[in-house]
Each structure stands twice: as C-alpha cells, then as structure tokens.
Amino acid sequence: MAIDLLSLKPHKVSKDLSGYITYIYGAPKTGKTTLATQMPDALLLAFERGYNAIPGIIAQDVTSWVEMKQIYRELKKPEVRENYKTIVIDTIDIAADLCQKYICNQLGIDNMGDGGWATNSWSKYKKEFEDVFRGLTMMGYAVVFISHETEYTEKDTTGKEITKIRPAAQKSALAVIENMADLYGYAKTFITEDGTKVKLLLRSSDGRIACGCRFKYIAPVIDFNYESLAKALTDAIDKEAQETGGRYITEERDVGPIAMTYDYDELMSEFKVIVSELMEKDKEKYAPYITQVVDKYLGKGKKVGDTTPDQAELIYAIVSELKEDVMNK
C-alpha cells in the first residue's frame, strides 16, 4: 500500500472507549481486572492469575515471553481479530520482567546490563517490549494495561520530602506505556461513611499521583467501573465537540492504523523484474544507481540476494524507490 498524503482526511474522535489505550494501576484487589475485562470483546492475557473470581472471563495464561510472542502471532490472524476487540495485559509489571529474562537468555547473561555495551541488553529489551505492545495497537486492538502501585519520596522546591504514587512497573517499561496511553488512571480507595469505595483518578491536582488523560474536559475523579468511565469519556468528547460543531466526532470505533504486511517472495520477484528492465535499458547508467539504492537501505556492500524474509520491509522500500524514481518516469 503506497502512502498518499493527498488522500488524508481530518481525524474524528471516537466516543467508543474500546478504541483507546488505557492504563490502570492501583493496589491489589481494587477491581482493576474486573473493570478492564468489561471492555468490548476482551481477551485477558494473564501474566499473573488474578481472574479466578471473575465469571465468564476469557483468559490466556502467559508464563514466559516466548508464549507472549506466540500469542502475538495468533493475534495477527484475521479470524482472531474478528473475535476480540480488547486485549488486557495483567500485569505489565510481570510482562516486563519476563521480557527482560527473555533478552538475558538470548544474550547468555544472568542480569540486564551484564557485559556492558557489548551486549546492548537494555536497547534490545526496549525494542522487544515496544515492538510487541505497539504492534497490538497497530493491529487495531484496544489495549488495557494493568499495573500495581508503588510509593516513593521526592523533595520539593523547598527541600521538603513528599510522598508520591506511581505504577510499580519498571521505569523502562513505564516510559513506553505512559506515552501510549490515552487514559491513564489510578485506582484509589476512599473510606467514606457508606463504607469503602474505589475511585479512578484521571487528574492529579498536586502532581503527587501519576495519572493523566488526552481529553481535556474529562472529570478528574470518577466511580471505578466501566459504565462511569465510558460516560466520562462521552461527556468529555461532547464538551469538546461544542468547540468544533461536532464535525470531528464519531460514534464508530477507532480501530487505529493497520500495519502494512509485506510478501517477501513477491517483492523479490518484483525487484528482479525491475533490475532486469533497467539493465536492458541502460546498464552503464542504472547499475550504479541500483547499487546506491540498495546500499541506502541494506548497508554498503550488502546484496538483496542475501536478505531474509524478516527484511521484507527493506526490500519493499528498495522496490518502491526504484519504481518512484525510475520506472514511473
């Protein structure tokens, strides 16, 4: 699929909560998993078994990162994508640990960082972690991440120590998830005259609780259930719609962009045809140019014939540039 910037249309904000990336964290047994699995057509990827008391849930236990990669491949299948709209990751804390263990095993080291720059373990972990979870969103799934909470102290501008709350996930994982999340909430327990209640904090007035939201009119605190969250989102979008006359609002689910797929064998055949035609036209003129394009994407001195199916995207880039710059002129 070629990119055509002239075909782009203004983005419309969806009122369907299943179209967004949600990150919820808090203390154990506050109902985080229950809320998440109330999302439409949810599949729970249980890195910890916290769903025993939830009736009717569809869950897949995940005990290793290799299993997560197998699940990821399954989720790419069209028939699976028709069955599920929401993927719940419970918890992202354990998922990060398993991903690190996978990288350590791959590199033959005991701990992240062993071997220093030679292993480049942290960069490999970050890429592996991002590829899987960003990939889910690119496939059109709504994703809900669940995490535990942790407290830490920090000095304010006067030097006074203050207590703050953030997800317990590792900072390397947290940086990825926080950036992806459209709704980022903290499940806070309140003791009231009527008993114990859990609320979802989406804004922190003093900055002591990590949370936030891309929707500027959303209520800062709501009841901790799916219905309240969906209503808060709808109300926030309705308020924003008043500023645009409702032109950029839709009731339809925002499934996100669909990642391109590449047929390696087909691309290799197309590359050979293009090269053959160019060499027939003018070998002296086009041979250096073909080498220049190949070097740009594969590296100096590398050959297209030495590539693997994992490099199909690079072959696509080579073929596209040759077609755009030469064949179509």
pLDDT in tens, 207-233: 899 999 888 888 999 998 888 888 888
Average pLDDT over residues 42-65: 87
pLDDT in tens, 130-144: 888 888 888 888 899
Q: What is the pLDDT of residue 13?
A: 40
- 323 or 6: whose pLDDT is higher? 323
Q: What is the pLDDT of residue 121?
A: 85
Residue 5: pLDDT band (50, 70, 90) is low
Residue 166: pLDDT band (50, 70, 90) is very high
pLDDT in tens, 96-107: 999 999 988 888
- 13 or 267: whose pLDDT is higher? 267
Q: What is the pLDDT of residue 156?
A: 79
- 29 or 7: whose pLDDT is higher? 29
Give the chain's mean pLDDT: 83
Place of tokens 């290793």: 64
145: nearest Cα among 221, 94, 215, 190? 94
Average pLDDT over residues 166-193: 85
In angstroms, the CA 271 to CA 313 distance is 13
Query: What is the residue-wise DSSP string for 148-160?
Result: EEEEEEEE-TTS-
CA distances from 248 to 12, 135, 198, 233, 241 (A): 4, 26, 33, 15, 7
Residue 54 identity (one-letter amino acid): I
177: nearest Cα among 59, 262, 93? 93
Q: What is the pLDDT of residue 3?
A: 58
Q: With a cut of 50, say whether residue 248 has pLDDT above it.
A: no
Q: What is the pLDDT of residue 185?
A: 92
Q: What is the pLDDT of residue 145?
A: 93
Burial of 306: CB neighbours in 10 Å, binned 0-12, 13-18, 19+: exposed
- 250 or 202: whose pLDDT is higher? 202
